[in-house]
Chains A and B, each alone.
Chain A
Amino acid sequence: MNATEPNPVKPKLREINPFPGISSTPSFALFKKTLIFDLCTVKRLIMSVVFMVLVPALILAFTPPDVLSGDEYLVQLLGFTTWYYNFAIMFPIIIIGATGPLISEELRSGTLLLLVSKPINRTRIVLSKFIALCVFGIVVSFLSLSIISLFAVMKYPFADIGEYFGIFILYSLVITLFFGGVTMGFSSIFRRPRNVLMLPLALVIFSFLVMMMFKPLLLYGNNWYEKYLLYNFDIGYHFANIFLMIGKAFVPLNTLLDYFGYIFWMFGITTIDFEGGGTDLNQLITMILWFHLYI
């Protein structure tokens, strides 16, 4: 047969799956495999929940009952530890750690070659893994918050922290989207998990620890933080803003300020431009710009 003959007419192909439902698509198979075999392994789930619950549980266990006089103080105490320790530091680290190997491991081990030879395009490969990551994030935050709430209610029967459950679940999804997205981007470039994790972890440390230390210097005196619009480059500030936006949808603003006021103050929100709304959209746009920059 002559190899240079014109390209023959395409035949009608036998369809493997003429009526594909969601449950039988390659994307769903990849989602399922990522969730069950890569993310929600027993070891990873237990470790994640233990790290998430550890500090709030210790605070609850060692706080004398007479320190707290009512629901407000309990929510304030738990709100701070849950927001700062869990959702600003521990949860992003868990998400980054879980996302890191998702693509880089397939690259390193060579399984990606088999994956790209299957009838699934690259965008769907990334999306299937990313959706599985979001489900993992929700599972971890749900389990952790359930355990923290259970501890709190067991020690302080008057506690009513149920309404904050939804806020934190939604907020955890935002964290997963951001840090998961950033890490997945690096995961597609680097083969070694160490290289993948380095920059996203540095981002967490800078945004939630280093910036926290220098922020008082920037906020007071000449107020460079506001004067030179430095808050636009502060991820922690944006996250606190998003938390406020989500929170306002569930509880009255004043209650939110009472319980989480210290966080909003720490992240510069109440000291800069918080006038009871109006600037949220700007902050959201800046956040989206940040997200695009990372992608």
Chain B
Amino acid sequence: MIKEKSSIPEIWTQKLTKIYGRGETSVKAVNKIDISTEPGVHGFLGPNGAGKTSTINMLIGAISITDGKANVKGEAAGSVRARRIIGFLPQDPAFYDNMSGEQYLNYIGELSGLRSSEAKKKTLELLEKLELMGARERRIEKYSEGMKQRVGIAAALIHEPEILILDEPTSNLDPIGRKKVIGDIKTLSKEVSVFVSSHILSEIEQMCVNVTMINKGKIVLADTIKNIKKMHSIKGGRNIIILDTSSNEKVIQQLKEKDFVTNTWIDENDKKIYILSKDIEMLQKSIPKMIIDNNVILREFHQPETSLQDIFIEIMEEEVNNE
């Protein structure tokens, strides 16, 4: 069941600030950030040390807010009511090694406010859903990293939270484990809103529609991934076209003569023509004519999509240049 759009933001912050320490040695980890998220999966991006974990810790009430406001579904972040509607998976989930998966989930269920019988019922449901039923009586210390991560997700979900906050959920996993967890998050997002932080942008791109980018405690970008890519393309960051024909040498000579072509070359690896243009529309219109005039076979002609990672790196570089 897909959640209905509500007028209340899932997560809302206003000038949220976190300063560690006092005086000259103080560090401003989060600097007056404004966030507003809608139902669905919201990505929270940033390099290591950007302030993602500090923001999340303020949202779950683990650390105090230095200044500003933060609400979770309209409830003050850190309040007992807010913590009831949050399911949280830390960056490095820690477990009680002397407990089995089933005992741990029962305990977390009761700790989250469920009755003992409810916790037992939900534990079995989640163990089944996350394919951990066979290992339920095994001690958690004997679980693989992937299994531990799934137990962590189950622990975050056991009390049926309205918002799931995941801090770098795939950071400790191998590629197969990552794929599995990303799949799980996508499935979960149909039932519960997810706020997921990561510095692995390709994963965020697979999961999220909306993202907020943070660097050095400040928000540098907040929009839908689609809009970010569109805006970035208009800004003129990457007007590249890749072309492959039966006679690339012949075509590239003609391309070099065109005014709107800024630069063109044949890549050493894939032997295709890369064309950088200041007028991408003109280039797109002229290429078919060029193919016909030269009587060559067209094998490939496309404009590569800019990845979120490329945009992110460029934004970070801009930030450095501006300093």
- A residues apposed to B, CB below 8 Å: 1-5, 7-11, 13, 16-17, 20, 23-26, 28-30, 32-33, 37, 41, 109-111, 113-121
Known A3-B35, A16-B112, A24-B116; judge A110-B107 contact (CB<8 A).
Answer: no
The minimal Cβ–Cβ distance linking A171 to chain B, given in whole angstroms, is 31
- Verify B84–A9 contact, CB threshold 8 A: no
- Verify B88–A7 contact, CB threshold 8 A: no
Question: Chain B 106-122, CB within 8 Å of chain A: the 1/0 string?
Answer: 01101111111000000
Provide a sorted-by-A list of 27 A–B residue pairs whose CB atoms are within 8 angstroms. A1-B9, A1-B38, A3-B12, A3-B36, A8-B9, A9-B8, A10-B74, A11-B8, A16-B113, A16-B159, A16-B160, A23-B116, A24-B110, A24-B116, A25-B113, A29-B107, A29-B110, A33-B107, A109-B94, A110-B90, A111-B95, A113-B57, A113-B94, A115-B111, A118-B111, A119-B80, A121-B80
- Verify B107–A8 contact, CB threshold 8 A: no
Which residues on the B side are within 8 Å of A117 (C-beta)? 60-62, 83, 86, 88
The minimal Cβ–Cβ distance linking A31 to chain B, given in whole angstroms, is 10
Known A2-B36, A16-B113, A37-B96; judge A118-B90 contact (CB<8 A).
Answer: no
User: Which 7 residue pairs across A and B have the least CB separation, nearest first?
Assistant: A29-B110, A110-B94, A3-B34, A3-B36, A10-B74, A117-B60, A24-B115
Known A8-B9, A114-B155; judge A26-B112 contact (CB<8 A).
Answer: yes
Interface centre among A33, A116, A119 (most CB of B within 10 A): A119
The residue in chain B whose Cβ has the minimal distance to the Cβ of A2 is B36
Known A3-B222, A111-B94; judge A10-B62 contact (CB<8 A).
Answer: no
A165 to B60 alpha-carbon distance, docked (Å): 47
User: B17 contacts the other chain (Cβ, under 8 Å)?
Assistant: no
User: B142 contacts the other chain (Cβ, under 8 Å)?
Assistant: no
- Verify A116–B35 contact, CB threshold 8 A: no
Known A7-B14, A8-B12, A10-B75; judge A119-B84 contact (CB<8 A).
Answer: yes
Known: A110-B93, A118-B83. 18 other contacts (CB 8 A): A1-B9, A3-B13, A3-B35, A7-B14, A7-B69, A8-B74, A10-B75, A13-B75, A23-B115, A24-B113, A24-B115, A33-B107, A37-B98, A37-B99, A110-B92, A113-B94, A118-B112, A119-B84
Which residues on the A side are within 8 Å of B110 (C-beta)? 24, 26, 28-29, 32
In chain B, positions 103-143 with a C-beta closer than 8 Å to chain A are 103, 107-108, 110-116
The minimal Cβ–Cβ distance linking A102 to chain B, given in whole angstroms, is 13
A120 to B82 alpha-carbon distance, docked (Å): 11
Question: Chain B 246-267, CB within 8 Å of chain A: the 1/0 string?
Answer: 0000000000000000000000
A20 to B115 alpha-carbon distance, docked (Å): 8
- Verify B113–A17 contact, CB threshold 8 A: yes
A118 to B84 alpha-carbon distance, docked (Å): 7
Known A10-B75, A29-B107, A37-B99; judge A119-B83 contact (CB<8 A).
Answer: yes
Known A24-B114, A33-B107, A110-B90; judge A8-B84 contact (CB<8 A).
Answer: no
- Verify B61–A116 contact, CB threshold 8 A: yes
A262 to B222 alpha-carbon distance, docked (Å): 77
A4 to B15 alpha-carbon distance, docked (Å): 8
Interface centre among A26, A32, A109, A110 (most CB of B within 10 A): A26
The minimal Cβ–Cβ distance linking A82 to chain B, given in whole angstroms, is 32
Known A3-B14, A11-B74; judge A17-B114 contact (CB<8 A).
Answer: yes
Q: A7, A11, A24, A113: which contacts B12 (Cβ < 8 A)? A: A7
Which residues on the A side are within 8 Å of B94 (C-beta)? 109-111, 113-114
A113 to B75 alpha-carbon distance, docked (Å): 20
A114 to B107 alpha-carbon distance, docked (Å): 12
The residue in chain A whose Cβ has the minimal distance to the Cβ of B57 is A113
A5 to B12 alpha-carbon distance, docked (Å): 9
User: B179 contacts the other chain (Cβ, under 8 Å)?
Assistant: no
The minimal Cβ–Cβ distance linking B230 to chain A, given in whole angstroms, is 18
The residue in chain A whose Cβ has the minimal distance to the Cβ of B7 is A8
- Verify B112–A111 contact, CB threshold 8 A: no
